[in-house]
Structure formats: C-alpha cells, structure tokens
Amino acid sequence: MVFSTPIFFFYFLVITLLAYYLVPRKLRNPVLLLSSLFFYWWGEGIYVLIMFLSTAIDYTHGLLVERCKARGNLRGAKLAVASSIIFNLALLGFFKYWNFLAGSFAALGLDFMPVIQYIRLPFLDPIPFHLPIGISFYTFQTMSYTIDVYRGDTRAQRNILNFGTFVTLFPQLIAGPIIKYKDLGDQIDQRACTSEKFASGVQIFMVGLGKKLLLANNVGMLWDAYKAMAPADLTVAGAWLGVLAFTFQIYFDFSGYSDMAIGLGRMLGFEFLPNFNYPYISRSITEFWRRWHISLSTWFREYLYIPLGGNRCSRPRWMFNLFVVWAATGIWHGASWNYLLWGLYFFALLMIEKFFLLDKLQRAPALVCRIYTLFLVMVSWTIFALEDFGHLGAYLKVMFGLGGVPLADPAFGYYLRSYAPILIIAAIASTPLGASLYRRLSRRGQEAACTVLVIAGLVVCTAYLVASTYNPFLYFRF
C-alpha cells in the first residue's frame, strides 16, 4: 500500500488512527504492529513473511549480542553481530541483486547463476519473484539495531512485540527515512501522544502529500513526455527541460514521502529525524549530500565509512573508503549499472571538491555556487533516471549540444508554457522561502494561514487523488 492512494488515505489511515486511540495505552504497540503487518501484506502478500523472519532473527541476535557482552564474551558478540549483518545483507542481496548479477554474468557468457522467476516453498504455490517493497530501507534499519546493541549505543529490546513494531512501523516501512534503533528505541517503549504532536503531524503530512500529488506527479508527466521521445526527436532545450522536471520530480516525490512518514509518525506519537533540508539551495556537492536523504548518508557514515577507518588513515586508504561508500550508495539506489555510475560520479565530484574546489567555492558568489551545484546535480539525475546506457548516452549528448538536433522546437514551447507556472512553484518550494514567511506571521496569522492551507490541501489533494484513478472506458478504446 502506498500513502497517495484513496484506500490508504480514507480507509487504512482512518481505521488505524481510530483503533490506535481507542484501545488502552498498552495495546497501542500491538495495534501498530498488526496494522503495519496488514499494510505490508496488502501490497506484498506472502512476502510479509520477511517481516516475521526479520523480526525473529534480529530480535534473537540483539539479545544474543547483549548476553555475550554481559558475560565478557566479546568474540561471541562479534560473531552474533556478524551473523545478523550477514542475514540482512543476504536478504537484501538475494531479493534485490540476484537477478541483476545473474543477468550481468549471463551477458558475459557466464551462466552459473540462474535467473529466479519463482520462489518454491514447501506446501505453497510457486511465488512470483519480485523486489519486496521497502527492503532496502528495512534491512538497513534492522542491521543498525544489532550493531548499536553491540556498540552499547542502545539496550536490546526484550519485548518481541515492541521489536516487531520497530521493524514493521508502517509510516517509514517502504520509503524511509531510515530510522536507527537507537533514535527510536525509547519511543517504541514509551511515547507521549499529545494534540500538539498530532497537529504538527497533520501539518507535515499535508506538506508531504501536496509535494507528492501536486508537484512531483505533475512535473513527472513532463519528464515522462521527454523520456519517451526518441533521441532524434529531442531538442537541446527540451532535454534540459525534461531533466529539470525530473530534478523536481525526484525531490518532491522522495521528500514528500519522507514528510508524510514523519507526519504520520507524529500523529502516532513518534519523532523521526528530518530527511531533507532544502538540498537544491546547496552551494557545493559536499553540502548537497549533507542536505539530501540525510538518513541514508548518516547511515553509511556510521555503519560503513567510519568502520572502514573514515578519514583517520592514510590518504589513499581514505580515498578508498570514500570510493566504497559511494559505490555502495549508488548501487543501493537500484540494481542497475547506471546507479553505480551515479554513485561514482558523486565520488569523483566530492574528491575534486575536497582536493581543491571547496576553498574556491567558499570565496565565490553564492549564485555561482548554486548554479554550479544545480548543474552537476541535474546531470547526475540524468544518469539516475535513464537505466539504459544507450539511451543515457544519447540523451546526455543532446543536452550538451552534440546530438545534432535543433536547439528548440514548437513542442518545447508548448511544454514550457504549460509547465512554467508549476515549475516556478516547484522552484520556490525548493527553498526555505515559504517556511520563513510563515515564521514571520503572528500567531493568529499562522493559525489562519495554516487552517486555509490544510483545508485547501485536503480538497485539492483529494481531487488529484481521485483523478489519478479516473479511468473512462470510452467505447472507442479497447
């Protein structure tokens, strides 16, 4: 189930909130656990077993690590952590990367890995093999748990229902943010549900819903139009317009989901850390990655970069560490070579910035820095958006005027005129301008503005939600 569907918004959310607040306090976690399992099962069917498996395995590993440590058996603790990491990585590797690797090897003429189409389990019909939604997020979350217990950053969870609630928590289950157990463990055991928290959750959720339905989906149609064009039909200006649309689409889609997750979390009494901080106003790529998908960057920092030695080592080793982190970041985004390329593209840019460009950028005018950053980020999104290298190469050529196509055509004019208002709104919404204007209002002013915006948001988002399911069957189309 995804948030931006009528069944989630008007059925699942209503019933879940109702049940959550009607049952006695100590039953709230079981209600959350049940509704989260339902949420996952609804869209993924039998794959919900992964939730049970993940919960059971990481729960026992957490306890094991703690017990070993309490008895001074460091080797046992290490083994337990390693076993938990191996399990989670195997889960991720199997579902996300097996067929990708099998296909890649097969392309080289090595077919020792069979392509999996069905999973066959005893007593069950063959299960069609696909990527279980959110697996990249929840395997990272559960992995952080045993590591944190090992490091002594948190205590192991003794109540398996509470631990299951952490693993399956529906607001962030399928699209993040990646929440570390040490940030959430105390809240799982005990949290305050106040009307202030609920109301701020409503605000953040509505911002997220608006980002997704009104901005991301909207500019997404523009990108779809350009993505579908054969390279020979593109124009230079059109190719850039298409990438600009994708630049906004991915930001508002992703940060919209994060906002919805954070908002839903608050409605249920949880505080999640923010995941995006206006990345498109960054003045360098280094800064961009401090503002983009913060929960992923910090995860890789804490659980990969620093364990590898971070920057407290020789320069070649440090570069190697960064290389590993960025290759992993790239391939984490999807099982396809273009994502790896995308990660390494950022590795290269960050190296260049760290070695000499960052000082210069600090002295340059802000506007120059922002244009520099946005330009490189847009190029990166081209790599990200086009999985087929042939298409990607042709598209990049057109962008840089090497495609032998015209600068612009009437269709470009049409798209620019049609989408200019929404692109301008998206550009403004990418900056903290709105938030700072809102902060300057008086308390009454804020309340009035908030009321109007929430009502308008509910009405307009519902219109777009319903329209997305509008599907006229006209007798002339079959």
Whether 61 is a known active-site residue: answer no
| Of positions 366, 420, 433, 437, contacts another protein by CB under 8 A | 420
DSSP states of 270-314: --PPP----GGG-SSHHHHHHHSSHHHHHHHIIIIITTTTTTSS-
# residues contacting another protein (CB under 8 A): 63
Instruction: Give the H/E segment covering residue 119.
Output: strand 118-119
What are the tokens at 33?
């656990």
Does 466 bind another protein (CB under 8 A)? Our answer is yes
Q: How close are the terminal C-alpha atoms of the chain, in Å?
A: 28
Does 203 bind another protein (CB under 8 A)? Our answer is yes
Q: Are 423 and 214 in contact, with CB atoms under 8 Å apart?
A: no
- Cα(273)–Cα(213) distance, integer angstroms: 23
- Cα(30)–Cα(32) distance, integer angstroms: 5
Does 193 bind another protein (CB under 8 A)? Our answer is no
SS3 127: strand
Does 43 bind another protein (CB under 8 A)? Our answer is yes
Q: Which is nearer to another protein, 6 or 309 (CB)?
A: 6
Question: CB 473: neighbour CB atoms within 10 A?
Answer: 7
Helix segments in 45-194, DSSP class H: 49-70, 74-92, 98-107, 135-151, 160-168, 170-173, 181-189
Does 460 bind another protein (CB under 8 A)? Our answer is yes
Cα-based angle 157, 149, 292 (whole degrees, multiple of 5): 100
Does 159 bind another protein (CB under 8 A)? Our answer is no
Residue 453 Cβ, how far from another protein at the closest point, in Å?
A: 11
Q: Which is nearer to another protein, 9 or 372 (CB)?
A: 9
| Of positions 105, 356, 389, 414, contacts another protein by CB under 8 A | 414
Site string for another protein, 6-25 (x = CB under 8 A): xx-xxx-xx--xx-------
Q: Are 9 and 3 in contact, with CB atoms under 8 Å apart?
A: yes
- Choosing from 61, 130, 293, 333, the catalytic residue is 333
Give 128's DSSP letter: E
Q: Which is nearer to another protein, 27 or 225 (CB)?
A: 225
Segment near another protein (CB under 8 A); pick from 79-87, 158-166, 189-197, 345-353 = 189-197
Q: Are 273 and 183 in contact, with CB atoms under 8 Å apart?
A: yes
Segment near another protein (CB under 8 A); pick from 154-162, 375-383, 387-395, 416-424 = 416-424
Does 366 bind another protein (CB under 8 A)? Our answer is no
Residue 185: closest CA among 157, 160, 161, 159: 157
Site string for another protein, 227-246 (x = CB under 8 A): --------------------
Instruction: Note the residues at the interface with another protein (CB under 8 A).
Output: 5-7, 9-11, 13-14, 17-18, 42-43, 45, 125, 194-196, 198-200, 202-203, 206, 218, 225, 409-414, 417-422, 425, 443, 447, 450-451, 454-455, 458-460, 462-467, 469-478
Which sequence positions are flagged as catalytic? 333
